[in-house]
Structure 1
Amino acid sequence: MKSSTAGYVFTLLAISIFAIQDGISKHLVSAYPPLFVAMIRYWAFMLFAVAMASRSPDGLRVAVHTRRPRLQIARGLLLSSQIVVAISSFVIVGLARSQAIFSSGPLMVALLSVPILGEKVGWRRWLAICIGFVGVLLILKPESGFFDVRFLVPLSGALLFSLYVVLTRYVSRDDSAMTSFLYTGIVGAAAMSCIGPFFWTPLAPHDWIFMGVLCLTGMSSHYFLIRAYDLLDAVVIQPLTYLQLVFSAIIGVSVFGETLNFYTVAGAIIVVSAGIFTIWRENALARASAKTSRA
């Protein structure tokens, strides 16, 4: 019971810190190049990933060994690109609406799992995916009567992250979670270090504080999420991560003065509902398959 309670606490801490991290990212990217901000953030994340791998039972030497080097590199490049796109979207589209569009991620993952992982999607999940994308269309509903091309930024961010998740599932067949976590940090930091210096911009003294807090939130949020997965099943944690949409919307409206129209709120509710059902159905089928194989 105590471990379950602690798991929920770690999950809520991680989600809350992720939302704060998004708010700080929007503040910094409104004044500095996204690639520069992402580079500094990735340096801290790489150090954290190496430290976690070093402290793991198998150690750093085992964690660095991978049977899927190309896919691990692809994962790292996808996530680093997604972070740059996501934090750019916070300024271009807004924090709240970006997160509403990002919430379509589980639906895209289910869709991409069919051709890439060879998974089967039943009619219930297909229906949930279709309903979820109706919600996305509501979020994207043009207020001016014309489609706003700026929405392509968060949409591409959602797609990049979904591809990252699908590839993470693929490499998990051969590599440990710690190996994947380590390569995420190392590859992302290396990629950002190749590009980020060209966008180096002197930080104002007070923004060094925000950058420092951003790095701390990046490390602490992942640590709490790892601890949560140690204590709770993924099927419990994944639906709770949608609370980040709520927390980010609160920050976007209260701190940055963003506004939410009826279609954005209604669309987000539909997308989240469809996503939670998809997650639940996928885990239910996995448990049923596990029972059948044991029998």
Structure 2
Amino acid sequence: MTQKNNVGAGIALMVGATIVFALQDGISRHLAGTYNTYMVVMIRYWFFAAFVIALAARAPGGLKAATKTSQLGLQIVRGLLLAAEICIAVFGFTVLGLIDSMAVFICYPLLVAALSGPVLGEKVGWRRWAAIGVGCIGVLIILQPGAGVFNPWAVIPLISALLFAIYGLLTRYVARKDSAATSFFWTGVAGAVAMTLIGMWFWEPMARGDWLWMALLCVSGVFGHWLLIKCYEMAEASAVQPFAYFHLVWSAILGISIFGEMLRPEVVAGATIVVAAGLFTLWRERRQR
């Protein structure tokens, strides 16, 4: 990938990607609220796999270069982790809503920082540990485990964030030997195979109008990943990653305006703390590099 170092364009592409992904979350919530989550994610993965295969076929070396890896087991595990994370996240949208789910999920950069030591052997200093601790306080404020009866469904986005953090760390690990194109290919193909083996047992007839929503979901998924690819071509990840938090803003707007969700004060307070802690860890990582 050729780096162009155009930070302004990179930021614009990242913000555009967060808008597309928020729309994708909203459509996923609508469809998974009516049909089985496994079927919705399976169809979504079919289009994703077709996209990565087409992308690999057009790249230098073609499919042969994209499939070549000495870490096949790890690549498959990565694909399975992401597929599981998407299923859990989509299910969380249906039981908790977009706002509460995303408010907890955004703690995943803190989980990445916490696990980077044992998984990747990276040094995590006291400042980053302090930020992780502060972020955990923010998550507790959102979940409110001591306020009346604790809702067990609130743990779902936390599990989703943990799986996504492990997926991200394994992506860093395999990048030591494999190209980004190889990792991208196996993410789509392994996930599609796994979701087909599961989702085919949960097939349901879908209304004609909902097939249009499904098509839009698939197109938005491909378009969102394309925007991310272009984003990282334009600028370094450390420069544009903080703007990924706009995903929470767009999800909140969709949740309130379309699904009638409420923006609770504790969610605002907790999410603000989590975002601040996440931005601090990103800043520390960039400074150390």
TM-score of the aligned structures, taking structure 2 as reference length: 0.96
**Shift of the alpha carbon at 1:153?**
1.0
Superposed, 1:234-245 pairs within 5 Å as 234-245=237-248
1:161 pairs with 160, 164, 178, which one? 164
> Is 1:282 paired with 2:289?
no
Distance 1:210 1:132 in 2: 35
> Is the 2:5–2:236 Cα contact (8 Å) retained in structure 1?
no
Counterpart code for 2:86 = I
Q: Which residue of 2 is the match for residue 251 of structure 1? A: 254
> Is 1:266 paired with 2:266?
no
> Is the 2:7–2:240 Cα contact (8 Å) retained in structure 1?
no
Superposed, 1:137-176 pairs within 5 Å as 137-142=140-145, 145-176=148-179
Report SS of the residue matched to 2:88.
Answer: helix
Superposed, 1:41-80 pairs within 5 Å as 41-80=44-83
> Is 1:96 paired with 2:82?
no
> Is 1:178 paired with 2:181?
yes
**Shift of the alpha carbon at 1:8?**
2.6
Aligned length: 286
Counterpart code for 2:104 = I
Counterpart code for 1:271 = V
> Is the 2:39–2:199 Cα contact (8 Å) retained in structure 1?
yes
Identity of aligned residues (%): 50
Counterpart code for 2:194 = A
2:213 pairs with 178, 187, 210, which one? 210
Distance 1:82 1:209 in 2: 24
**Shift of the alpha carbon at 1:167?**
0.5
Counterpart code for 2:227 = F
Q: Deviations over 1:118-175 (max 9, x none)?
A: 1110011010000010000001015851221011211111111011001101101010
Distance 1:79 1:44 in 2: 15
Counterpart code for 1:133 = C
Report SS of the residue matched to 2:226.
Answer: helix
Report SS of the residue matched to 1:202.
Answer: coil
Report SS of the residue matched to 2:206.
Answer: coil
Distance 1:183 1:92 in 2: 30
Counterpart code for 2:117 = V
CA RMSD of aligned residues (A): 1.3
Q: Which residue of 1 is the match for residue 112 of structure 2? A: 109
Counterpart code for 2:127 = R
Superposed, 1:16-31 pairs within 5 Å as 16-31=19-34
Cα separation, partners in 2 of 1:57 and 1:3, compared to 1, 3 Å: farther
**Shift of the alpha carbon at 1:71?**
0.5
**Shift of the alpha carbon at 1:274?**
0.3
Moved more, 150-159 or 136-145: 136-145
Distance 2:6 2:147 in 1: 51
> Is 1:221 paired with 2:224?
yes
Moved more, 139-148 or 223-232: 139-148
Unaligned residue ranges in structure 2 (runs of 5+)? none
TM-score of the aligned structures, taking structure 1 as reference length: 0.94
Unaligned residue ranges in structure 1 (runs of 5+)? 287-295
Q: Which residue of 2 is the match for residue 132 of structure 1? A: 135
Q: Deviations over 1:85-143 (max 9, x none)?
A: 00000011111110011100000001111111111100110100000100000010158
